[in-house]
Amino acid sequence: MREKAAQGIYPGRAPFWYRNRKDTRTIEIDPIKGPIANHVFELYASGRYSLLSLSKSIIHSFGHSISKANLHKMLTNRFYIGQFEWSGETYDGKHESIVSPDLFNQVQSVFQDHNRPKYRKQPIAFRGLVGCAHCGCTVTGEFKKEKYVYYRCSCGRGPCELPRFREQQIADQLGHVLSDITVPEDVAQRIVDALKHEQAHAGARIAQQRTRFTKDLHAIQARMDAVYLDKLEGKVSEEFWQRKQSEWQAEESRIKMLLAELKEPEIGSRLADVGRILELAQKSHSLYLTRNMDEKADLLRNVLWNCGTDGVNLYPSYRKPFDLIAKRAKTEEWSGREDLNLRPPGPEPGALPG
């Protein structure tokens, strides 16, 4: 068995999500259970699940029942990144890995956070918002003397040079992230005015298109009726009638499809969305300065995916459309139309007025 392990072949029963192949005496990913493995690791790595809630989610989503104890064994088993232990030794396996080492390390960091003492009376505000710019691991927080909060790299890839820092220090730095998405008041008003102008004219454009399509449809139908009467009276041949009928019916179907696709523009909802986004962009920094740590973190989560730090500088990754707002605020180029879309992603494109 040691010789088999040295060859990279696990000399035992395959873990969950894998299966043993008797014909080749190898281990392969279970074609039925395997595809959900990476998803389960990603769910737990998000930090939003306990083992119990994750077990319930797996049952609800995939119909597989896995106990908390077995989930813990699976999520801490290096077999899923292509390694295994046998007789106290670690070997590189020949079997296919299911998850990446980065994802596996994130899961182990979440376990570390969950296993910390639960004596603290308040949550750690910026947990999950900040990452290490040196090694890419998460930055986690911990209480000292049950009073002070310090943040450090989770060191999921080994020792890291990121220094520890106080919560107030990172809070002050993150405030600048919000100041970088401020939209000048005159620009905000131009955006709103442009949408109001579009709202006033969009309905008229739709009505004009509907009138034109309806007129074209009636003309095609009248033409078919007229030629059909000519066919009945023997003025045109059956072959001519069949050929023209096919052409006109195709055109009739095309016009009907265009009419069905005409919808009244949802400018009103777009205007409300843009108003909320602009209000958040303009007021978030001033609101941030007056809030407690948890409220500051909530404001940041509205505009950020995450933010890297090297202990001195921040490297924010903004949610849409705040990424484009930050880009324009940095260059003060507010007149472009090509890429600034201040609405949440949706079917109707919008742009900054020229």
Q: Is the dihedral of CA 126, 161, 150, 102 positive or negative?
A: positive
DSSP code per residue over 141-195: EEEETTTEEEEEE--TTS---PPPEEHHHHHHHHHHHHHTTPPPHHHHHHHHHHH
* Residues 40 and 54 sit within 8 Å (Cβ to Cβ): yes
How, if at all, do strands 130-132 and 304-309 pair?
Answer: parallel
Per-residue pLDDT, 351: 36
* Structure token pair of residue 134: 């040196």
pLDDT digits (tens, 9 = 90+) for 247-264: 888 888 888 888 887 766
Q: Which whole number is the average pLDDT over 74-96?
A: 83
Residue 92, Cα to own-chain centre: how many angstroms? 33
* Structure token pair of residue 171: 């809070």
* Residues 274 and 195 sit within 8 Å (Cβ to Cβ): yes
In the DSSP assignment, the letter for residue 214 is H
- Measured between alpha carbons, how far apart are the two ends of the chain, in Å? 72
pLDDT digits (tens, 9 = 90+) for 44-67: 888 878 888 888 888 877 777 888
pTM of the predicted model as reported, rounded to 2 decimal places: 0.41
Tell me the pLDDT band of 286, cut-offs 50, 70 and 90: confident
Flag whether pLDDT at 92 surpasses 60: yes
Report the alpha-carbon distance of residue 79 to residue 81 in Å, rounded: 5
Per-residue pLDDT, 265: 56
CB atoms near residue 326 (< 10 Å): 19
Residue 92, burial from CB neighbour count under 10 angstroms (0-12, 13-18, 19+): exposed
Flag whether pLDDT at 338 surpasses 50: no
Q: State residue 132 phi and psi, 5-degree precision.
A: -85, 125
Nearest by Cα to 14 from 164, 31, 127, 3: 31
- Beta strand extents in the chain (DSSP E only): 18-21, 26-29, 83-86, 89-92, 130-132, 139-144, 148-153, 165-166, 304-309, 314-318
* Residues 159 and 171 sit within 8 Å (Cβ to Cβ): no
273 versus 62: the higher-pLDDT residue is: 62
